[in-house]
Structure 1
Amino acid sequence: MAGLAVGVSSMKAGERALLHVGWELGYGKEGSFSFPNVPPMADIIYEVELIGFDEVREGKARGDMTAEERIGAADRRKMDGNSLFKDEKLEEAMQQYEMAIAYLGDDFMFQLFGKYRDMALAVKNPCHLNMAACLIKLKRHEEAIAQCTVVLAEDENNAKALFRRGKARAELGQTDAAREDFLKARKHAPEDKAITRELRLLDEHDKAIYKKQKEIYKGIFGPPPQPKPKPANVLTRMWQWLILIGQWLLSLIYRLFKRERRKAD
């Protein structure tokens, strides 16, 4: 691809660009009817990220390699990435994983069958998963989810991909989706203690949220207020005093009556 080569040659490592390649420097008048399928005389727009420059470590250009050589080169990049990951050099490790994946691009994987495809996936999938591990450490959880999803598209029961996607989802507060991933991962790796621990942490998180919500609702809707006794009005008080005075007068008259009667006797 002459046009793509011209565009990339002017880029710097780590740069992203949108390249518009005219048909003369693309697939020409004939186009391409294999992979990728490009109509005749079609301009092409590429979204390109230049990961880095791959010096000719392998002794030949990538396009001249056999399938075994490309898979071997990718595997060596993966091992370099693993060494950097152990040293906590996460950005550098991700560059190596990305370059390994570049050896195993979609156009190359499309041509593989049988044992060669299995060999390529045995290198490619761990690179995606190791990228996810780096991204989780860097708190780039959305990108980590995307890397795990690539692996799950090939192997829906991959316990490591499910676990790491669940961990990234949990960090984003997507607890239901995270629990679904962890439960599926546990089905395929029942003795994995890390999965059990993450499920326990989710349960504790849910309990804490429930307790907090209960306290909030209790504060909002608390026990109904007790009715306060209404103060007696003025007329009621006067009536009460009149009753007391009347009772006192009756008692006084009764005493006087008794005294007069005794005198008469």
Structure 2
Amino acid sequence: MALRKYRKALRYLDVCWAKEDIDEEKTSQLTKTKSMILTNSSACKFRLGDLRGSLIDTEFAIRENASNAKAFFRQGQAYMALNDIDAASKSFRKALELEPNDGGIKRELATTNKKIADRLHQEKKAYAKMFQ
């Protein structure tokens, strides 16, 4: 239901942009609003299990507003669920760069860094056996 509401909100935004009296400030507000709607739509898709759809929405949200830390955070969550840990780490680092005091981002980044470290440790163990 929420996903349908977000899609409806996007359609209303398109109608707003069609008006002729849209100035620079209103365009900026509409762009930020569109980015927020896409970010929330991404969260809905993530919870429904549509991970690829979630990623697509975050990419559109980031395109609309490159300073949307929440979009980068959602993108990182989707990458983690898809087991693309390196991409998730990159997204979480970008989110942390935009929101340096956010505890949730810090936790997720720490989790990805631990997974990367564990993976490197496993690789070292595997390669060490090859050369003995």
Structure 2 length-normalised TM: 0.83
Counterpart residue number, 1:101: 10
1:206 aligned residue (99, 107, 116): 116
AA of the residue aligned to 2:78: A
AA of the residue aligned to 2:12: Y
Q: 1:110 to 1:161 in 2, by over 3 A?
A: farther
Match status 1:192 vs 2:102: yes
Q: Give 3-state SS (helix, strand or coil) of 1:146's partner.
A: helix
Structure 1 length-normalised TM: 0.44
Hey, what's the Cα distance between the residues in 2 that align with 1:179 and 1:187?
Answer: 12
Counterpart residue number, 1:81: none
Hey, what's the Cα distance between the residues in 2 that align with 1:97 and 1:155?
Answer: 17
Counterpart residue number, 1:178: 88
Counterpart residue number, 1:23: none
1:218 aligned residue (117, 128, 132): 128
Hey, what's the Cα distance between the residues in 2 that align with 1:125 and 1:157?
Answer: 10
Counterpart residue number, 1:116: 26
Hey, what's the Cα distance between the residues in 2 that align with 1:218 and 1:179?
Answer: 26
Counterpart residue number, 1:131: 41
Higher relative contact order (CA 8 A, sep 6+): 2
Q: Give 3-state SS (helix, strand or coil) of 1:104's partner.
A: helix
Hey, what's the Cα distance between the residues in 1 that align with 2:29 and 2:55?
Answer: 24
Residues 85-112 of structure 1 deviation map (CA, whole Å, 9 limit, x = unaligned): xxxxxxx11011111111122x752653
Q: Which runs of 4+ in 1 moved over 4 A?
A: none
Counterpart residue number, 1:263: none
Identical-residue share of aligned pairs (%): 27
Counterpart residue number, 2:76: 166
- Larger strand share, 1 or 2: 1
Q: Give 3-state SS (helix, strand or coil) of 1:216's partner.
A: helix
Indicate if the aligned counterparts of 2:86 and 2:116 stay in contact, CA closer than 8 A: no
Structure ID, larger Rg: 1
Aligned residues: CA RMSD: 2.1
Hey, what's the Cα distance between the residues in 1 that align with 2:32 and 2:38?
Answer: 11
Which structure 2 segments of 5+ residues have no match? none
How many matched pairs? Answer: 130
Residues 217-253 of structure 1 deviation map (CA, whole Å, 9 limit, x = unaligned): 233333xxxxxxxxxxxxxxxxxxxxxxxxxxxxxxx
Hey, what's the Cα distance between the residues in 1 that align with 2:129 and 2:75?
Answer: 37
Hey, what's the Cα distance between the residues in 2 that align with 1:197 and 1:110?
Answer: 42
